[in-house]
Structure 1
Amino acid sequence: MDIQKWWVNDDIYCQRLTADYLEEATKMLETSFYPQENVCMVLGISEDLEAVRELRDLTNAAAKDGISVIAIDKKTNKVVGTAFNKIQVKNDPVFENFAKSWKSPRSKALVELMSEIDSLCNLFDYCQTDCLLELMFLGTTTEYRGKGIAKKLSEITFEIGTNLAKGVNARKSLDGTELPLGPRPKIISAIFATIATQKIGRRLGFEVVAEKFYNEMDFQGTKFSDVITNGSTKLTLEYKKL
């Protein structure tokens, strides 16, 4: 299977997520993203094995859409960054449907929060579209941050979405088999939870349509702003036309 590579620098490249890297990419979320990402950290996702297992079902489902991207260190062949992406269709609440069978209050809280932020501005109605591409779980391992990996993953995701919007079948299955083109997204959306990812949004021309401040949010009696001490103050819901 011929796999396109997008280079971040001489040592790190990005490619589509394939079956060979799915387990490692998922583990990267569990060891780097969930313990350190602002919202997941407050919710204690990494401390709850049931929550981790339930979210694995969600990311595995997203991977099947054929639009997720990973970053790899050429020297070690290790996954050092991920963008688990999902096609969203109007009136098809994928995340909520997953959460209906979940038992962990932490994974449920994460999906409920994502849905709450999405409800602050219904992007389907706001942008008059029936389909969007969500840049979902975007992150890098701790030692590889600050190298432009997350920005590159975001740029590639936008490129994939643009091709789909134009009618070019840019979906690539995990095993290389052909996936159908449709439905075709008209916008790319993201919930950015940190100053770093919000800066990426500014650089790539995303429009902020809603925001929610951490000092207004709590989980089981603990304010988000009391736990998040990296300078980030809010979540932003953002989009860009494809």
Structure 2
Amino acid sequence: MSHPFSCIPPAFLDLLHVEYPFAFGNYAMFMRSIREGMVHLHSSLEENNPYRDGLPSSFNIFVSIKIDLCIGRYRIELITQATFPGALRVIKEAFCQDEAAAVGSEVNKNPVAAEELMELCADAALDGASLVAVDVKTKEVAAAVFNKIQVKTSDASEKTFFEIFAEKRCTQASSRSLIQFMVDVDERCNLFEKYKVDCSLEIMFIATLREHRRQKLATELIKNSIEIARRIKDGSIAPMKVEDLGPKYSHLNNPKPLNTYPKICQAIWTGKGTQAIGKLLNFKVHLTVPFSEFVFNGKTYSERIGDEAAFCEVVALSL
């Protein structure tokens, strides 16, 4: 019995791959995914379906930006109202407990500080550029990356998004220490000046639940984050709305319309895993900073991490 997608004309598949490259690592993977039924296309009889012509009358396809790719048992997709709570759970249970700076700043021991970082994630999610990996069978969010669109300030004395968040919305020393660490490291290497750009996509927080690790989910999330960053330019990535986040975050403000777009993708890699992924994906390392330079509550981050040689990297990739 042939696969139900076998009736799709090859020309349509070519168009789909070109139009939605962020969902597919390469053409061979794309075609294999079609054959094996791992690509989920959504049936539609809508009159405005641009791909109706040339398809069998009994089988029409509607394609939107939410098209996704299954990688084995996982599906990579943009964060939505439905997956947002699961994405926060990943950050709270995985990032806040295991990530190096979270351990160094004792966010892992302070539930209130962790909750404050959830609000930071909610704010970032509104940009519409964050992603999750969903377990296809259980529908559980297994991994998440929260990305923040950063725009260069017009005045050098103007405070950054992270600085304002730490000052106005962090009540805990732990969460303030972690965000100040990010600010400190970013200030040591001004990527806007280095690349002569006015906007970037920052890979802010990325984590995988322990039971889903070693599946290369972080690699796929970062790969797709790069492609999402490239697509912001053509307006195909829509911001989320405050109401999508639920009543807990109803006090947040919807993002202002962008009058620019990311020209670089940037990150602070804080562990060996993300540092290896960055190297694989050709991020350029601009600065290496030892965790021993950061102190919280009388101990260096490296002491709490348990590795005096531990360090972070400031990296970027031109888009």
Task: Give the TM-score taking structure 2 as reference length.
Answer: 0.70
User: 1:153 maps to what in 2?
Assistant: 221
User: 1:99 maps to what in 2?
Assistant: 166
Say which of 73, 78, 81 aligns to 1:16: 78
Say which of 173, 197, 203 aligns to 2:240: 173
Query: Is 1:213 equivalent to 2:290 in the alignment?
Result: yes
CA contact (8 A) 2:98 2:108 kept: no
What 5-or-longer segments of structure 1 have no aligned partner?
none
Query: Tell me, what secondary structure is at the counterpart of 2:82?
Result: helix
Q: Number of aligned pairs?
A: 237
CA contact (8 A) 2:292 2:308 kept: no
C-alpha displacement at 1:63, in angstroms?
0.4
Task: Give the TM-score taking structure 1 as reference length.
Answer: 0.91
C-alpha displacement at 1:171, in angstroms?
3.3
What 5-or-longer segments of structure 2 have no aligned partner?
1-41, 43-63, 154-158, 245-255
Larger RCO, structures 1/2 (Cα 8 Å, 6+ apart): 1
User: 1:4 maps to what in 2?
Assistant: 67
Query: Tell me, what secondary structure is at the counterpart of 2:312?
Result: strand
CA contact (8 A) 2:76 2:131 kept: yes
Say which of 142, 158, 181 aligns to 2:210: 142
Moved more, 70-79 or 216-225: 216-225
| CA distance in 2 between partners of 1:119 and 1:206 (Å) | 19
Rg larger in 1 or in 2? 2
Say which of 181, 186, 203 aligns to 1:113: 181
CA contact (8 A) 1:193 1:232 kept: no
Q: Share of identical aligned residues, percent?
A: 30
Query: Tell me, what secondary structure is at the counterpart of 1:114?
Result: helix
Query: Is 1:65 equivalent to 2:127 in the alignment?
Result: yes
| CA distance in 1 between partners of 2:239 and 2:70 (Å) | 19
Query: Tell me, what secondary structure is at the counterpart of 1:100?
Result: helix
Say which of 164, 175, 178 aligns to 2:232: 164
Once the two structures are superposed, residues 187-211 of structure 1 have per-residue CA deviations (whole angstroms, 9 ceiling, x without a partner) of 0000000011000000000000111
C-alpha displacement at 1:229, in angstroms?
3.8
| CA distance in 2 between partners of 1:139 and 1:104 (Å) | 22
Does the C-alpha gap of structure 1 residues 15 and 203 become closer, same or farther in structure 2, counting only changes over 3 Å? same
| CA distance in 2 between partners of 1:149 and 1:231 (Å) | 28
Structure 1 ranges of 4+ moved more than 6 A: none
Query: Tell me, what secondary structure is at the counterpart of 2:90?
Result: helix
| CA distance in 1 between partners of 2:166 and 2:178 (Å) | 9
Query: Is 1:36 equivalent to 2:104 in the alignment?
Result: no
C-alpha displacement at 1:230, in angstroms?
6.9
Query: Is 1:78 equivalent to 2:140 in the alignment?
Result: yes
| CA distance in 2 between partners of 1:207 and 1:87 (Å) | 19
| CA distance in 2 between partners of 1:117 and 1:181 (Å) | 25
C-alpha displacement at 1:124, in angstroms?
0.7
| CA distance in 2 between partners of 1:7 and 1:230 (Å) | 36
